[in-house]
Amino acid sequence: MSVVLAIVGRNLRLFFRDRLNVFFSLLGAIILFALYTLFLGNLQTEDLVASVPGASADEVQAFVDSWMFAGIVLITTVTTGLGGLSVLVEDDQSGRFKDFLVAPLRRGQLVLGYLLSAATIAVLISTAVLVVSVLYLGLLRGTWLSPGAIVRSLGIVVLSCIAFTSLSALIVSFVRTTGAYSGLATIVGTVLGFVAAAYIPVGVFPPAVASVVSALPFAQAGMLLRREFSDDTLAAMTADAPGADDALRLVYGLDLQVGEWMVPAWFVVVSLIVLAIVCTTLSAIRIRRRIR
């Protein structure tokens, strides 16, 4: 185990030493924050103030911000795990695998080191983003998450990091060059905001597209986070508008619907666990063969 921990420590140092790589791992979340701060946030606030009777601008702003930060945290759980796997691609292309193979290391130890380091990077950075989000909402919007909501959010973040890092590892196991990896990271960072319903509320999509997005694990994990972040602000915003709560939960992805089926929270948790187990197993097999 000490060998695996040494590999994990080495990979963590390599990742955090490359500040540009850390920045690009957070680029999707930064883009989302910039979009809502500069453009989309005001549009969402104006539309909700006009459509929700009795809701004040402050209540609407608190809801929009809490919904946005849930999306930022979700995006971070995906992109940082993918960013942490850059060390794997660089080691392959630079020929370091050959150096490792002549050392007294087992391939299984190397594989475990890569997977654990990527998951650790995702958890560390995503937790930091979660803390910043909670402080931002509390200090600037006066909306403090309850201790229970924070603990549950942290649990969702950890589970999402493990599941999406394992999925990223499976995809990266097919990537051979740093150029291809950079292209993959760019595509993921760009598309993720849409498939996770973070840039645009899922209720704005056409019904068929909304069902497809709602069936993906990204939007489903986002649903769990949005419930923790936005349940209280949504209730406060719709207190004087009976019936608006249920409709807005569907529009903003606090509840997801695939066709006529409402996605339950327990199903999302089980799906993420299964995704983590299956993708970890397959990616470990792929990476092990690649290190030969």
* CB-CB contact of 137 with 187 (8 Å): no
Question: Quick one: pLDDT at residue 104?
Answer: 67
Quote the pTM value.
0.92
Question: Quick one: pLDDT at residue 51?
Answer: 76
Report the chain's mean pLDDT, rounded to a whole number. 85
User: How many domains does one find in the chain?
Assistant: 1
Cα 72 to chain centroid distance, Å, stands at 7
Count of C-beta atoms within a 10 Å radius of residue 106: 12
Gap between the Cα atoms of 254 and 202, Å rounded? 10
The token pair that represents 187 in the structure block: 């595509």
Domain that holds residue 72: 2-290
Within the chain, how many helices (H) and strands (E) appear? 14, 2
* CB-CB contact of 10 with 99 (8 Å): no
Question: Quick one: pLDDT at residue 1?
Answer: 67
Q: What is the pLDDT of residues 112-158, one digit of tens each?
A: 888 999 999 999 999 999 999 999 888 888 888 999 999 999 999 99
Question: Quick one: pLDDT at residue 99?
Answer: 67
- Report mean pLDDT in 10-residue bins for the chain, 292 residues: 79 83 77 75 73 77 88 91 87 73 72 89 92 89 89 95 93 85 83 83 88 92 93 83 81 89 94 94 85 70
